[in-house]
């Protein structure tokens, strides 16, 4: 091979090399241009992302304003409708922007595909530029990573868009629930109106009740005045009884002594003797009446006193029975049962109770011939019972027998008395912290029982 041939080949090689260098320069220029385009696209995408973030912040602000508007829905319904319209416009703009981003992403993918194709072409054309191509491939891989990251960012943006859609749906549900709550509030308002009407009715009822209460208070005041008047009258009556009883007692004692003297000095065969006996009996009745009136006045004034001492209780039974038996020949007073015990109390007053009960038993059993007396221990109490077989007492009259001056209307005209004996007897038993009970049946007789506690 001569020098000219080598020279020609060298020239051809240099020309080829120059050609390759020119193509490489053009390729680098084109690559730089594409890189600049990618940078512009990336910058546009960054600006779009910033704008999207700004819009997201704006949407968040609007959502916050919408929440506030929902809380103030009762007073700002018109404002809520405006915010809802703005939210719809924002969602429409977001949808348009998402479509624009999808277009940009598609263009970027096409650009990347075109760039890969061009890189392959460059590899075929410039085998000598392996190092440059490897570096370019590395750059392309970096760009692919960036593109992948962009795809991921787009996916995240889509996910966020879906989340926003969910939030919008939740907001719609919240609006529906708020409307339901408004309906409930209207129902509650209607119920409140009904309750207020009912309250007004109750106030009217209370007014009526208050008026009735005023009338009742007036009646109660009248009753109290009447009670005070009666108490004053009772006090005056007791004072009168006390005065009269004391005034009668002295002359009655003289009359009694005179009749007793006449009874002793007059012969029983004298025709005046029955009149003297009858007069003496009347004096004794009058003396008993005066003693009862004095006892009543003492009881009412709280001045009746008990001479408390221990005594043999059977003595009170036998003394009372003997006292009454002397004045009654027709009736037999029989002591069925007695107790061997000492009792601490006023023996005279207890005998007075027994004498009252025995006197009534004889008086109200004119067709009978027997009165039974019994005493026994019942649950730490002395129970004394006087039973007769006389006319009996109606149930309606039993509870009133212990009132002052009370007498059964059916028998008041048939039997003498003023209705003080049982009242005095009941008060004496109360003073001993005891109690009275009556068992009676009309036409079959009565049983009067009093109980005295042993631990008195």
Instruction: Please state the domain extents for the chain.
Output: 3-195, 306-453
The answer to whether the CB of 352 falls within 8 A of the CB of 426 is no
Tokens encoding 224: 């109290």
CA distance 201 to 209: 12
pTM of the model as a whole = 0.42
CA distance 284 to 290: 10
Strand partners, 370: 332
Residue 75 phi, psi (nearest 5): -100, -10
Q: Where are the beta strands (DSSP E) in 179-319?
A: 309-312
**Fold of domain 306-453:** Heat Shock Protein 90 (3.30.565)
Residue 70 phi, psi (nearest 5): -65, -40
The answer to whether the CB of 118 falls within 8 A of the CB of 23 is no
CA distance 384 to 77: 92
CA angle 370, 374, 375 (to 5 degrees): 165
Reported as a single tens digit per residue, the pLDDT across 180-205 is 888 888 888 888 888 888 888 888 88
CA distance 355 to 239: 26
- CB neighbours of residue 286 within 10 Å: 14
Asked if the model's pLDDT at residue 290 lies above 60, the reply is yes
CA distance 252 to 270: 25
- Indicate the range of 9-13, 72-76, 317-321, 439-443 predicted with least confidence: 72-76
The answer to whether the CB of 433 falls within 8 A of the CB of 453 is yes
Asked if the model's pLDDT at residue 354 lies above 90, the reply is yes
- Name the DSSP letter for residue 148: H
- Widest distance between CA atoms in the chain: 217
Question: Coil, helix or strand for 407?
Answer: coil
Reported as a single tens digit per residue, the pLDDT across 43-80 is 888 898 898 889 888 888 988 887 886 787 778 777 77
- Give the pLDDT confidence score for residue 413 in this predicted structure: 42
Helix (H) or strand (E) holding 188: helix 130-265
- Name the DSSP letter for residue 412: T
Nearest to residue 31, comparing CAs of 144, 106, 111, 131?
Answer: 111
pLDDT range class, residue 157, cuts 50, 70, 90: confident
């Amino acid at each position: 091979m001569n020098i000219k041939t080598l020279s020609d080949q060298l020239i051809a090689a240099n020309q080829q090399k120059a050609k390759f260098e020119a193509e490489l320069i053009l390729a680098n220029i084109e690559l730089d241009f594409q890189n600049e385009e990618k940078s512009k696209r990336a910058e546009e995408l960054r600006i779009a992302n910033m704008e999207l973030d700004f819009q997201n912040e704006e949407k968040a602000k609007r959502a916050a304003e919408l929440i506030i508007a929902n809380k103030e829905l009762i007073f700002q319904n018109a404002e809520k409708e405006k915010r809802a319209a703005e939210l719809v416009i924002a969602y429409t703009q977001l949808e348009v922007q998402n479509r624009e981003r999808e277009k940009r992403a598609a263009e970027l993918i096409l650009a990347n595909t075109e760039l890969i194709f061009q890189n392959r072409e460059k590899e075929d054309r410039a085998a000598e530029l392996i190092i440059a191509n490897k570096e370019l491939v590395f750059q392309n891989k970096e760009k692919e990573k960036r593109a992948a990251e962009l795809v991921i960012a787009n996916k995240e943006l889509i996910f966020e868009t879906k989340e926003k859609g969910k939030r919008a749906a939740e907001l719609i549900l919240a609006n529906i629930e708020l409307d339901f709550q408004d309906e409930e509030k209207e129902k509650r308002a209607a119920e409140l109106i009904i309750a207020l009407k009912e309250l007004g009715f109750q106030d009217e009822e209370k007014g009526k009740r208050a008026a009735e209460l005023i009338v009742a208070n007036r009646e109660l005041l009248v009753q109290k005045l009447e009670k005070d008047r009666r108490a004053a009258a009772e006090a005056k009556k007791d004072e009168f009884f006390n005065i009269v009883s004391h005034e009668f007692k002295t002359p009655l004692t003289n009359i009694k002594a005179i009749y007793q003297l006449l009874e002793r000095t007059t012969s029983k065969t004298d025709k005046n003797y029955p009149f003297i006996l009858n007069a003496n009996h009347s004096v004794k009745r009058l003396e008993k009446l005066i003693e009862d009136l004095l006892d009543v006045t003492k009881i009412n004034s709280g001045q009746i006193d008990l001479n408390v001492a221990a005594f043999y209780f059977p003595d009170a039974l036998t003394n009372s029975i003997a006292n009454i038996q002397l004045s009654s020949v027709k009736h037999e007073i029989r002591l069925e049962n007695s107790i061997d015990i000492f009792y601490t109390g006023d023996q005279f007053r207890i005998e007075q109770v027994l004498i009252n009960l025995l006197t009534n038993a004889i008086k109200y059993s004119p067709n009978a011939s027997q009165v039974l007396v019994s005493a026994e221990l019942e649950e730490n109490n002395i129970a004394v019972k006087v039973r007769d077989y006389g006319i009996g007492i109606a149930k309606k009259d039993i509870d009133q027998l212990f009132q002052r001056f009370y007498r059964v209307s059916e028998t008041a005209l048939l039997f003498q008395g003023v209705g003080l004996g049982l009242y005095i007897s009941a008060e004496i038993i109360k003073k001993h912290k005891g109690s009275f009970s009556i068992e009676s049946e009309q036409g079959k007789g009565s049983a009067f029982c009093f109980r005295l506690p042993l631990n008195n």
